[in-house]
Structure 1
Amino acid sequence: MREEAPRAVTIICRALQEQIDRGLLPSGSKLPAERRLSELFDTTRITLREALGQLEAQGLVYREERRGWFVSPTRVAYNPLVRTHFHAMVAEQGRVPATEVLSARLMPASAQICQVLELPALSSVYQVCRARRIDGRLVLYVEHYLNPAYFPGILDFDLTRSLTDLYASEYGIHYGRVRFDMVPTALHAEAAASLKVAPGSPALRITRVNRDQHGRIIDCDLEFWRHDAIHVSVEVPE
Protein backbone atom coordinates (compact mmCIF):
# COMPACT_ATOMS: atom_id res chain seq x y z
CA MET A 1 0.00 0.00 0.00
CA ARG A 2 2.85 2.40 0.77
CA GLU A 3 4.14 2.04 -2.79
CA GLU A 4 0.70 2.16 -4.41
CA ALA A 5 -0.46 5.48 -2.92
CA PRO A 6 2.34 7.67 -4.38
CA ARG A 7 1.86 6.00 -7.77
CA ALA A 8 -1.88 6.65 -7.62
CA VAL A 9 -1.25 10.30 -6.79
CA THR A 10 1.04 10.63 -9.82
CA ILE A 11 -1.54 8.98 -12.10
CA ILE A 12 -4.34 11.27 -10.89
CA CYS A 13 -2.19 14.39 -11.25
CA ARG A 14 -1.11 13.48 -14.78
CA ALA A 15 -4.64 12.61 -15.86
CA LEU A 16 -6.19 15.82 -14.55
CA GLN A 17 -3.34 17.98 -15.85
CA GLU A 18 -3.72 16.44 -19.32
CA GLN A 19 -7.47 17.15 -19.29
CA ILE A 20 -6.76 20.76 -18.27
CA ASP A 21 -3.96 21.24 -20.82
CA ARG A 22 -6.16 19.96 -23.66
CA GLY A 23 -9.10 22.15 -22.66
CA LEU A 24 -11.40 19.29 -21.73
CA LEU A 25 -11.57 20.82 -18.27
CA PRO A 26 -11.79 24.52 -19.17
CA SER A 27 -10.66 27.44 -17.05
CA GLY A 28 -13.03 28.13 -14.18
CA SER A 29 -14.96 24.89 -14.55
CA LYS A 30 -15.98 22.88 -11.50
CA LEU A 31 -14.45 19.46 -11.00
CA PRO A 32 -16.70 16.51 -10.16
CA ALA A 33 -17.28 15.86 -6.47
CA GLU A 34 -14.46 14.15 -4.57
CA ARG A 35 -16.56 10.99 -4.19
CA ARG A 36 -17.08 10.80 -7.95
CA LEU A 37 -13.38 11.36 -8.64
CA SER A 38 -12.44 8.72 -6.07
CA GLU A 39 -14.66 6.23 -7.85
CA LEU A 40 -13.33 7.23 -11.26
CA PHE A 41 -9.69 6.67 -10.25
CA ASP A 42 -10.54 3.72 -7.98
CA THR A 43 -8.74 5.24 -5.02
CA THR A 44 -9.37 6.60 -1.55
CA ARG A 45 -10.46 10.14 -0.71
CA ILE A 46 -7.17 10.60 1.15
CA THR A 47 -5.11 9.75 -1.95
CA LEU A 48 -7.35 11.89 -4.15
CA ARG A 49 -6.98 14.89 -1.85
CA GLU A 50 -3.21 14.49 -1.86
CA ALA A 51 -3.26 14.65 -5.65
CA LEU A 52 -5.57 17.66 -5.69
CA GLY A 53 -3.35 19.33 -3.11
CA GLN A 54 -0.34 18.89 -5.39
CA LEU A 55 -2.24 20.35 -8.34
CA GLU A 56 -3.37 23.24 -6.15
CA ALA A 57 0.25 23.95 -5.16
CA GLN A 58 1.09 24.14 -8.88
CA GLY A 59 -1.73 26.63 -9.41
CA LEU A 60 -3.75 24.33 -11.69
CA VAL A 61 -6.81 23.88 -9.47
CA TYR A 62 -8.22 25.61 -6.42
CA ARG A 63 -10.75 24.86 -3.72
CA GLU A 64 -13.44 27.12 -2.30
CA GLU A 65 -14.94 26.40 1.08
CA ARG A 66 -18.28 24.55 0.77
CA ARG A 67 -18.20 24.82 -3.04
CA GLY A 68 -15.64 22.27 -4.17
CA TRP A 69 -12.72 22.18 -6.60
CA PHE A 70 -12.31 24.31 -9.72
CA VAL A 71 -9.84 24.67 -12.59
CA SER A 72 -7.73 27.77 -12.01
CA PRO A 73 -8.21 30.60 -14.53
CA THR A 74 -5.27 32.09 -16.38
CA ARG A 75 -3.17 34.30 -14.11
CA VAL A 76 -3.16 38.04 -14.65
CA ALA A 77 0.16 39.78 -15.22
CA TYR A 78 1.24 42.16 -12.46
CA ASN A 79 3.98 44.65 -13.33
CA PRO A 80 4.97 46.85 -10.36
CA LEU A 81 6.74 49.29 -12.71
CA VAL A 82 3.51 50.20 -14.51
CA ARG A 83 1.48 53.02 -12.96
CA THR A 84 -2.04 51.62 -12.93
CA HIS A 85 -4.68 50.31 -10.54
CA PHE A 86 -6.51 47.02 -10.07
CA HIS A 87 -9.55 47.75 -12.26
CA ALA A 88 -7.47 49.12 -15.14
CA MET A 89 -4.87 46.34 -14.91
CA VAL A 90 -7.48 43.60 -15.02
CA ALA A 91 -9.65 45.20 -17.71
CA GLU A 92 -6.65 45.80 -19.97
CA GLN A 93 -6.08 42.02 -19.96
CA GLY A 94 -9.63 41.32 -21.12
CA ARG A 95 -10.89 40.27 -17.71
CA VAL A 96 -13.71 41.61 -15.53
CA PRO A 97 -12.73 43.30 -12.22
CA ALA A 98 -14.99 43.92 -9.23
CA THR A 99 -14.44 45.35 -5.76
CA GLU A 100 -16.39 44.89 -2.52
CA VAL A 101 -15.83 47.07 0.56
CA LEU A 102 -15.68 44.90 3.67
CA SER A 103 -15.12 47.69 6.18
CA ALA A 104 -14.03 51.34 6.30
CA ARG A 105 -13.30 53.22 9.52
CA LEU A 106 -11.10 55.62 11.44
CA MET A 107 -9.06 53.62 13.94
CA PRO A 108 -5.95 53.82 16.12
CA ALA A 109 -2.88 52.98 14.07
CA SER A 110 -0.83 49.98 15.12
CA ALA A 111 2.83 50.52 15.91
CA GLN A 112 3.72 48.95 12.55
CA ILE A 113 1.45 51.29 10.59
CA CYS A 114 2.71 54.32 12.53
CA GLN A 115 6.23 53.35 11.56
CA VAL A 116 5.39 52.69 7.91
CA LEU A 117 3.42 55.93 7.48
CA GLU A 118 5.90 57.87 9.64
CA LEU A 119 3.18 58.93 12.07
CA PRO A 120 3.68 59.78 15.75
CA ALA A 121 2.62 57.31 18.43
CA LEU A 122 -1.11 56.96 19.12
CA SER A 123 -2.12 58.38 15.74
CA SER A 124 -5.35 57.54 13.93
CA VAL A 125 -5.60 56.20 10.39
CA TYR A 126 -8.31 55.35 7.94
CA GLN A 127 -8.47 51.60 7.38
CA VAL A 128 -10.32 50.36 4.29
CA CYS A 129 -10.59 46.58 3.80
CA ARG A 130 -11.69 45.33 0.41
CA ALA A 131 -12.14 42.03 -1.43
CA ARG A 132 -11.50 41.99 -5.15
CA ARG A 133 -12.63 39.63 -7.90
CA ILE A 134 -11.52 38.74 -11.38
CA ASP A 135 -14.26 37.26 -13.57
CA GLY A 136 -16.32 36.72 -10.44
CA ARG A 137 -13.62 34.81 -8.57
CA LEU A 138 -12.27 36.15 -5.28
CA VAL A 139 -8.53 36.65 -5.73
CA LEU A 140 -7.37 39.54 -3.53
CA TYR A 141 -7.90 40.74 0.03
CA VAL A 142 -6.38 44.15 0.70
CA GLU A 143 -6.06 46.44 3.69
CA HIS A 144 -5.49 50.12 2.87
CA TYR A 145 -4.15 52.46 5.57
CA LEU A 146 -4.52 56.17 4.79
CA ASN A 147 -3.08 59.19 6.58
CA PRO A 148 -6.31 61.09 7.43
CA ALA A 149 -4.55 64.46 7.23
CA TYR A 150 -4.48 64.13 3.43
CA PHE A 151 -7.96 62.64 2.87
CA PRO A 152 -10.57 64.38 5.03
CA GLY A 153 -14.05 62.93 4.57
CA ILE A 154 -12.92 60.12 2.28
CA LEU A 155 -15.17 57.58 4.01
CA ASP A 156 -18.17 59.41 2.55
CA PHE A 157 -17.18 58.48 -1.01
CA ASP A 158 -17.82 55.30 -2.98
CA LEU A 159 -14.86 53.16 -1.93
CA THR A 160 -15.53 50.40 -4.44
CA ARG A 161 -13.95 52.65 -7.05
CA SER A 162 -10.22 53.05 -7.64
CA LEU A 163 -8.55 54.94 -4.80
CA THR A 164 -6.01 56.17 -7.34
CA ASP A 165 -8.80 57.91 -9.27
CA LEU A 166 -10.50 59.11 -6.08
CA TYR A 167 -7.30 60.69 -4.76
CA ALA A 168 -6.79 62.54 -8.05
CA SER A 169 -10.37 63.72 -8.62
CA GLU A 170 -11.27 64.75 -5.06
CA TYR A 171 -7.96 65.67 -3.44
CA GLY A 172 -5.59 66.57 -6.29
CA ILE A 173 -3.20 63.89 -5.05
CA HIS A 174 -1.27 61.70 -7.47
CA TYR A 175 1.03 58.80 -6.70
CA GLY A 176 4.74 59.52 -6.87
CA ARG A 177 7.39 57.12 -5.66
CA VAL A 178 6.20 53.68 -4.52
CA ARG A 179 8.03 50.99 -2.53
CA PHE A 180 7.06 47.35 -3.04
CA ASP A 181 7.81 44.37 -0.81
CA MET A 182 6.70 40.91 -1.95
CA VAL A 183 6.87 37.72 0.11
CA PRO A 184 5.12 34.34 -0.03
CA THR A 185 2.91 33.91 3.00
CA ALA A 186 -0.01 32.00 4.49
CA LEU A 187 -3.40 33.68 4.69
CA HIS A 188 -4.43 34.83 8.14
CA ALA A 189 -7.97 34.08 9.29
CA GLU A 190 -9.61 37.32 8.16
CA ALA A 191 -8.03 37.28 4.71
CA ALA A 192 -8.87 33.59 4.26
CA ALA A 193 -12.49 34.13 5.26
CA SER A 194 -12.79 37.04 2.82
CA LEU A 195 -11.41 34.88 -0.01
CA LYS A 196 -13.47 31.84 1.08
CA VAL A 197 -10.47 29.56 1.50
CA ALA A 198 -8.99 27.74 4.47
CA PRO A 199 -6.78 29.73 6.88
CA GLY A 200 -3.13 29.06 6.13
CA SER A 201 -3.69 28.77 2.37
CA PRO A 202 -0.69 29.96 0.32
CA ALA A 203 -0.69 33.56 -0.86
CA LEU A 204 1.55 36.32 -2.12
CA ARG A 205 1.68 39.33 0.18
CA ILE A 206 2.53 42.60 -1.54
CA THR A 207 3.12 45.63 0.68
CA ARG A 208 3.02 48.99 -1.08
CA VAL A 209 4.08 52.23 0.59
CA ASN A 210 2.94 55.16 -1.53
CA ARG A 211 4.21 58.73 -1.74
CA ASP A 212 2.44 61.55 -3.54
CA GLN A 213 3.79 63.98 -6.12
CA HIS A 214 5.31 66.04 -3.28
CA GLY A 215 7.18 63.09 -1.78
CA ARG A 216 4.89 62.70 1.25
CA ILE A 217 3.96 59.20 2.46
CA ILE A 218 0.19 59.18 2.05
CA ASP A 219 -0.90 55.56 2.47
CA CYS A 220 0.13 51.92 2.40
CA ASP A 221 -1.56 48.80 1.07
CA LEU A 222 -1.28 45.25 2.37
CA GLU A 223 -2.36 43.00 -0.50
CA PHE A 224 -2.97 39.28 -0.07
CA TRP A 225 -3.27 37.56 -3.46
CA ARG A 226 -4.28 33.97 -4.03
CA HIS A 227 -1.03 32.33 -5.08
CA ASP A 228 -2.51 31.12 -8.39
CA ALA A 229 -4.13 34.44 -9.40
CA ILE A 230 -1.17 36.50 -10.64
CA HIS A 231 2.32 36.27 -11.99
CA VAL A 232 4.74 39.12 -11.47
CA SER A 233 6.27 40.20 -14.76
CA VAL A 234 8.81 43.03 -14.94
CA GLU A 235 10.84 44.30 -17.87
CA VAL A 236 13.53 46.76 -16.87
CA PRO A 237 14.38 49.31 -19.56
CA GLU A 238 17.99 49.86 -20.56
Structure 2
Amino acid sequence: MRSLPARAVTAICQALQEQIEHGLLAPGGKLPAERVLSEVFATTRITLREALVQLEAQGLVYREERRGWFVAGRRLIYDLGERSHFEVMVRRQGREPATELLSARLVPASAAICARLGLAGLSSVIQVCRLRRIDGRAVLYVERYLNPGYFPGILELELGGSLTQTYARYYGIEYGQVCFEVLPTALPGAAAGALKVSVGSPGLNITRINSDRQGRVIDCDLEYWRHDAICIRAIAR
Protein backbone atom coordinates (compact mmCIF):
# COMPACT_ATOMS: atom_id res chain seq x y z
CA MET A 1 0.00 0.00 0.00
CA ARG A 2 2.88 2.35 0.67
CA SER A 3 3.92 2.17 -2.98
CA LEU A 4 0.63 3.60 -4.24
CA PRO A 5 1.35 7.24 -3.31
CA ALA A 6 4.84 6.93 -4.83
CA ARG A 7 3.34 5.60 -8.06
CA ALA A 8 0.79 8.40 -8.08
CA VAL A 9 3.52 11.02 -7.59
CA THR A 10 5.54 9.54 -10.46
CA ALA A 11 2.49 9.45 -12.74
CA ILE A 12 1.61 13.09 -11.98
CA CYS A 13 5.22 14.18 -12.58
CA GLN A 14 5.35 12.36 -15.89
CA ALA A 15 2.00 13.77 -17.03
CA LEU A 16 2.88 17.38 -16.21
CA GLN A 17 6.39 17.05 -17.64
CA GLU A 18 4.97 15.71 -20.89
CA GLN A 19 2.53 18.63 -21.11
CA ILE A 20 5.36 21.11 -20.52
CA GLU A 21 7.73 19.49 -23.02
CA HIS A 22 5.04 19.52 -25.73
CA GLY A 23 4.24 23.18 -25.14
CA LEU A 24 0.72 22.60 -23.81
CA LEU A 25 1.78 24.31 -20.60
CA ALA A 26 3.73 27.39 -21.67
CA PRO A 27 6.64 28.97 -19.75
CA GLY A 28 5.37 31.60 -17.35
CA GLY A 29 1.86 30.19 -17.44
CA LYS A 30 0.01 29.64 -14.19
CA LEU A 31 -1.02 26.12 -13.31
CA PRO A 32 -4.57 25.47 -12.07
CA ALA A 33 -5.07 25.63 -8.32
CA GLU A 34 -3.92 22.61 -6.33
CA ARG A 35 -7.54 21.71 -5.57
CA VAL A 36 -8.34 21.61 -9.28
CA LEU A 37 -5.22 19.61 -10.14
CA SER A 38 -5.92 17.09 -7.40
CA GLU A 39 -9.35 16.55 -8.93
CA VAL A 40 -7.86 16.19 -12.43
CA PHE A 41 -5.47 13.49 -11.22
CA ALA A 42 -7.98 11.95 -8.78
CA THR A 43 -5.57 12.18 -5.90
CA THR A 44 -5.08 13.97 -2.60
CA ARG A 45 -3.58 17.42 -2.34
CA ILE A 46 -0.74 15.95 -0.27
CA THR A 47 0.23 13.62 -3.12
CA LEU A 48 -0.18 16.37 -5.68
CA ARG A 49 1.98 18.75 -3.65
CA GLU A 50 4.74 16.12 -3.42
CA ALA A 51 4.71 15.81 -7.23
CA LEU A 52 4.89 19.57 -7.68
CA VAL A 53 7.77 19.83 -5.23
CA GLN A 54 9.66 17.18 -7.22
CA LEU A 55 9.05 19.09 -10.46
CA GLU A 56 10.18 22.28 -8.74
CA ALA A 57 13.45 20.59 -7.75
CA GLN A 58 13.94 19.70 -11.43
CA GLY A 59 13.38 23.34 -12.45
CA LEU A 60 10.20 22.63 -14.42
CA VAL A 61 7.75 24.57 -12.22
CA TYR A 62 8.07 27.15 -9.49
CA ARG A 63 5.92 28.49 -6.70
CA GLU A 64 5.24 32.04 -5.54
CA GLU A 65 3.81 32.75 -2.11
CA ARG A 66 0.06 33.43 -2.24
CA ARG A 67 0.08 33.24 -6.05
CA GLY A 68 0.37 29.55 -6.82
CA TRP A 69 2.40 27.42 -9.22
CA PHE A 70 3.85 28.45 -12.58
CA VAL A 71 5.68 26.80 -15.47
CA ALA A 72 9.37 27.73 -15.39
CA GLY A 73 11.15 29.13 -18.43
CA ARG A 74 14.51 27.84 -19.57
CA ARG A 75 17.46 28.58 -17.33
CA LEU A 76 19.64 31.60 -18.01
CA ILE A 77 23.23 30.69 -18.88
CA TYR A 78 25.40 32.60 -16.40
CA ASP A 79 28.86 32.69 -17.94
CA LEU A 80 31.44 33.55 -15.29
CA GLY A 81 33.83 34.66 -18.03
CA GLU A 82 31.55 37.33 -19.48
CA ARG A 83 31.98 40.99 -18.59
CA SER A 84 28.48 42.01 -19.72
CA HIS A 85 25.95 43.25 -17.19
CA PHE A 86 22.59 41.63 -16.41
CA GLU A 87 20.49 43.34 -19.10
CA VAL A 88 22.96 42.51 -21.89
CA MET A 89 23.41 38.92 -20.73
CA VAL A 90 19.65 38.33 -20.65
CA ARG A 91 18.91 39.97 -24.01
CA ARG A 92 21.69 38.02 -25.73
CA GLN A 93 19.77 34.87 -24.82
CA GLY A 94 16.51 36.17 -26.31
CA ARG A 95 14.90 37.04 -23.00
CA GLU A 96 13.48 40.28 -21.58
CA PRO A 97 15.19 41.76 -18.49
CA ALA A 98 13.79 44.24 -15.98
CA THR A 99 15.29 45.83 -12.87
CA GLU A 100 13.48 47.35 -9.90
CA LEU A 101 15.35 49.56 -7.45
CA LEU A 102 14.27 48.64 -3.92
CA SER A 103 16.53 50.90 -1.87
CA ALA A 104 19.80 52.86 -1.98
CA ARG A 105 21.40 54.26 1.15
CA LEU A 106 24.53 54.64 3.27
CA VAL A 107 24.75 51.88 5.91
CA PRO A 108 27.28 50.54 8.42
CA ALA A 109 29.38 47.82 6.80
CA SER A 110 29.26 44.33 8.26
CA ALA A 111 32.52 42.63 9.13
CA ALA A 112 32.21 40.42 6.03
CA ILE A 113 31.71 43.41 3.72
CA CYS A 114 34.62 45.27 5.34
CA ALA A 115 36.84 42.25 4.67
CA ARG A 116 35.71 41.91 1.05
CA LEU A 117 36.12 45.61 0.27
CA GLY A 118 39.30 46.02 2.30
CA LEU A 119 37.74 48.60 4.62
CA ALA A 120 38.55 49.38 8.23
CA GLY A 121 36.17 48.39 10.98
CA LEU A 122 33.14 50.61 11.61
CA SER A 123 33.22 51.85 8.02
CA SER A 124 30.11 52.92 6.11
CA VAL A 125 29.23 51.61 2.64
CA ILE A 126 26.65 52.43 0.02
CA GLN A 127 24.07 49.64 -0.20
CA VAL A 128 21.96 49.32 -3.34
CA CYS A 129 19.21 46.64 -3.25
CA ARG A 130 17.51 45.64 -6.50
CA LEU A 131 15.10 43.01 -7.78
CA ARG A 132 15.71 41.63 -11.25
CA ARG A 133 13.27 39.83 -13.53
CA ILE A 134 13.51 37.70 -16.65
CA ASP A 135 10.40 37.65 -18.86
CA GLY A 136 8.44 39.13 -15.97
CA ARG A 137 9.51 36.52 -13.42
CA ALA A 138 11.42 37.66 -10.33
CA VAL A 139 14.58 35.52 -10.30
CA LEU A 140 17.30 37.56 -8.62
CA TYR A 141 17.64 39.75 -5.53
CA VAL A 142 20.89 41.70 -5.33
CA GLU A 143 22.58 43.67 -2.60
CA ARG A 144 25.49 45.69 -3.97
CA TYR A 145 27.94 47.32 -1.57
CA LEU A 146 30.03 50.20 -2.90
CA ASN A 147 33.13 51.76 -1.41
CA PRO A 148 31.86 55.36 -1.00
CA GLY A 149 35.35 56.76 -1.49
CA TYR A 150 35.17 55.94 -5.21
CA PHE A 151 31.59 57.09 -5.84
CA PRO A 152 30.89 60.49 -4.29
CA GLY A 153 27.32 61.68 -4.90
CA ILE A 154 26.16 58.43 -6.48
CA LEU A 155 23.06 58.29 -4.29
CA GLU A 156 21.81 61.37 -6.14
CA LEU A 157 21.89 59.52 -9.48
CA GLU A 158 19.39 57.13 -11.08
CA LEU A 159 20.37 53.66 -9.88
CA GLY A 160 17.64 51.53 -11.41
CA GLY A 161 19.58 50.81 -14.60
CA SER A 162 23.07 49.52 -15.29
CA LEU A 163 25.50 50.50 -12.55
CA THR A 164 28.32 49.42 -14.86
CA GLN A 165 27.33 52.20 -17.25
CA THR A 166 26.88 54.67 -14.37
CA TYR A 167 30.40 53.94 -13.15
CA ALA A 168 31.87 54.57 -16.59
CA ARG A 169 29.80 57.66 -17.39
CA TYR A 170 30.11 59.58 -14.13
CA TYR A 171 33.31 58.27 -12.56
CA GLY A 172 35.43 56.94 -15.42
CA ILE A 173 35.60 53.56 -13.68
CA GLU A 174 35.51 50.27 -15.59
CA TYR A 175 35.60 46.76 -14.22
CA GLY A 176 38.80 44.75 -14.26
CA GLN A 177 39.21 41.51 -12.33
CA VAL A 178 36.17 39.82 -10.79
CA CYS A 179 36.32 37.20 -8.06
CA PHE A 180 33.33 34.83 -7.77
CA GLU A 181 32.14 32.76 -4.83
CA VAL A 182 29.23 30.39 -5.60
CA LEU A 183 27.34 28.58 -2.85
CA PRO A 184 23.94 26.90 -2.50
CA THR A 185 22.02 28.69 0.21
CA ALA A 186 18.75 29.02 2.09
CA LEU A 187 17.27 32.34 0.99
CA PRO A 188 17.35 34.95 3.79
CA GLY A 189 14.37 37.14 4.66
CA ALA A 190 15.01 40.09 2.35
CA ALA A 191 15.73 37.88 -0.67
CA ALA A 192 12.84 35.52 0.03
CA GLY A 193 10.40 38.41 0.42
CA ALA A 194 11.48 40.05 -2.84
CA LEU A 195 11.32 36.74 -4.74
CA LYS A 196 7.94 35.80 -3.18
CA VAL A 197 9.10 32.52 -1.66
CA SER A 198 9.26 31.23 1.88
CA VAL A 199 12.23 32.17 4.03
CA GLY A 200 14.72 29.32 3.87
CA SER A 201 13.75 28.23 0.36
CA PRO A 202 16.66 26.84 -1.68
CA GLY A 203 18.60 29.39 -3.65
CA LEU A 204 22.01 30.10 -5.12
CA ASN A 205 24.27 32.77 -3.65
CA ILE A 206 26.82 34.28 -6.03
CA THR A 207 29.19 36.76 -4.43
CA ARG A 208 31.06 38.99 -6.87
CA ILE A 209 34.04 40.99 -5.61
CA ASN A 210 34.80 43.56 -8.30
CA SER A 211 38.02 45.44 -8.95
CA ASP A 212 38.59 48.26 -11.43
CA ARG A 213 41.26 48.41 -14.16
CA GLN A 214 43.77 49.73 -11.59
CA GLY A 215 43.21 46.74 -9.31
CA ARG A 216 41.24 48.63 -6.63
CA VAL A 217 38.36 46.70 -5.05
CA ILE A 218 35.41 49.01 -5.71
CA ASP A 219 32.27 47.05 -4.89
CA CYS A 220 30.80 43.70 -3.93
CA ASP A 221 27.58 42.04 -5.11
CA LEU A 222 25.62 39.54 -3.05
CA GLU A 223 23.33 37.87 -5.61
CA TYR A 224 20.51 35.61 -4.44
CA TRP A 225 19.05 33.61 -7.34
CA ARG A 226 16.11 31.27 -7.46
CA HIS A 227 17.86 27.92 -7.72
CA ASP A 228 15.99 26.91 -10.89
CA ALA A 229 16.59 30.14 -12.82
CA ILE A 230 20.23 29.84 -13.91
CA CYS A 231 22.92 27.48 -15.12
CA ILE A 232 26.48 28.43 -14.13
CA ARG A 233 29.05 28.02 -16.89
CA ALA A 234 32.80 28.56 -16.90
CA ILE A 235 35.24 27.85 -19.72
CA ALA A 236 38.80 26.93 -18.72
CA ARG A 237 41.52 28.36 -20.91
Q: TM-score range by the shorter chain?
A: over 0.9
**Aligned equivalents of 2:118, 2:127: Cα separation in 1:** 16
Shift of residue 3 of structure 1? 2.0
Which stretch has the larger CA shift, 227-236 or 134-143? 227-236
The percent of aligned pairs where both chains have the same amino acid is: 66
**Aligned equivalents of 1:129, 1:107: Cα separation in 2:** 12
SS of the aligned residue for 2:194 comes to: helix
Which stretch has the larger CA shift, 224-233 or 49-58? 224-233
Q: Where does 1:1-238 land on structure 2 (aligned, <5 Å)?
A: 1-237=1-237
Scaled by the length of structure 1, what TM-score is found? 0.98
**Aligned equivalents of 2:110, 2:24: Cα separation in 1:** 49
**Aligned equivalents of 1:113, 1:82: Cα separation in 2:** 24
**Aligned equivalents of 1:188, 1:235: Cα separation in 2:** 30
**Aligned equivalents of 1:135, 1:114: Cα separation in 2:** 35
Shift of residue 200 of structure 1? 1.3
Scaled by the length of structure 2, what TM-score is found? 0.98
Structure 1 gaps, min length 5:
none
Instruction: Give the length in aligned residue pairs.
Output: 237
Deviations 1:49-103 (A, max 9, x none): 0000000001000011111111001111110101110011111111111111111
Structure 2 gaps, min length 5:
none
SS of the aligned residue for 2:70 comes to: strand
SS of the aligned residue for 1:56 comes to: helix
**Aligned equivalents of 2:144, 2:220: Cα separation in 1:** 6
**Aligned equivalents of 1:124, 1:188: Cα separation in 2:** 22
**Aligned equivalents of 1:134, 1:223: Cα separation in 2:** 15
SS of the aligned residue for 1:149 comes to: helix
**Aligned equivalents of 2:57, 2:176: Cα separation in 1:** 36
SS of the aligned residue for 2:235 comes to: coil
SS of the aligned residue for 2:17 comes to: helix
Shift of residue 159 of structure 1? 0.7
SS of the aligned residue for 1:46 comes to: helix
After TM superposition, the runs of 4+ consecutive aligned structure 1 residues lying more than 3 A away are none
Matched letter for residue 60 of structure 2: L
Matched letter for residue 178 of structure 2: V
Matched letter for residue 51 of structure 1: A
Deviations 1:13-71 (A, max 9, x none): 01101111111111111111101110011111111000000000010000111111110
